[in-house]
């Protein structure tokens, strides 16, 4: 684990995205909340938030962080579900892994809840969109 003990705590924010490609039937069922397991978007939002809080237990060598905010939101580009996760803290290290964990687990939850309709759903492009705070300051991915 990297020693961050000498660093000053600063406000840090990270935004990550996962893309879930669905068939038209699976996307329609998700939009209309008609999946047999229930409202997948609500379940995925809760799963992502819970996962962010467990990042240090899931990813070796990450620091446990006191999250002050985590949110998971959804939008559509055709039949591709965009899952955006925002994580915020005041700490000595960043929250990129928490945001990426939230987006990833939310995407896995969508797959789990919609697999009865289509097992060919794919989870694509889990990536960091932006981060701010800390020594390196603001960073934004290209093409965002």
pLDDT string in tens for the chain (144-residue length): 787 877 888 899 999 999 999 999 999 999 988 888 889 999 999 999 999 999 999 999 999 999 999 999 999 999 999 999 999 999 988 899 999 999 999 999 999 999 999 999 999 999 999 999 988 899 999 987
Tell the residue number behind the tokens 């701010």, with chain if given.
Answer: 132
List the catalytic residue out of 71, 79, 112, 118. Answer: 112
Q: Which domains does the chain have, with CATH numbers?
A: 10-135 (3.30.70.640)
Query: Rounded to an integer, what distance in angstroms lies between the CA atom of residue 131 and that of residue 112?
Result: 29
pLDDT at residue 6, rounded to an integer? 75
pLDDT at residue 100, rounded to an integer? 98
Look up residue 64 and give its two tokens. 């446990």
Query: Rounded to an integer, what distance in angstroms lies between the CA atom of residue 71 and that of residue 96?
Result: 13
pLDDT at residue 9, rounded to an integer? 85
pLDDT at residue 14, rounded to an integer? 97
Query: Rounded to an integer, what distance in angstroms lies between the CA atom of residue 16 and that of residue 23?
Result: 23
pLDDT at residue 114, rounded to an integer? 95
- Find the helix packing angle between 96-114 and 24-32, rounded to 10°: 100
Task: Report pTM.
Answer: 0.94
> Chain-centre distance of CA 108, in angstroms?
10
- Report the DSSP beta bridge partners of residue 85: 16, 72
39 tagged catalytic:
no
The H or E element containing residue 66 is none
Contact indicator for 86, 15 with CB cutoff of 8 Å: yes
């Amino acid at each position: 684990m990297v020693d961050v003990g000498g660093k000053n705590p600063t406000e840090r924010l990270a935004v990550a995205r996962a893309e879930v490609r669905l068939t038209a039937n699976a996307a329609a069922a998700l939009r209309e909340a008609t999946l047999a397991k229930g409202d997948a978007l609500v379940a995925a939002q809760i799963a992502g938030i819970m996962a962010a809080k467990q990042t240090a237990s899931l990813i070796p060598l990450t620091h446990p962080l006191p999250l002050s905010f985590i949110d998971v939101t959804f939008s559509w580009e055709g039949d591709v579900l965009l899952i955006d996760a925002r994580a915020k803290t005041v700490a000595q290290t960043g929250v990129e892994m928490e945001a990426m964990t939230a987006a990833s687990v939310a995407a896995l939850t969508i797959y789990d809840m919609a697999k009865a309709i289509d097992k060919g759903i794919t989870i694509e492009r889990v990536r960091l969109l932006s981060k701010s705070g800390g020594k390196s300051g603001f960073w934004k991915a290209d093409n965002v």
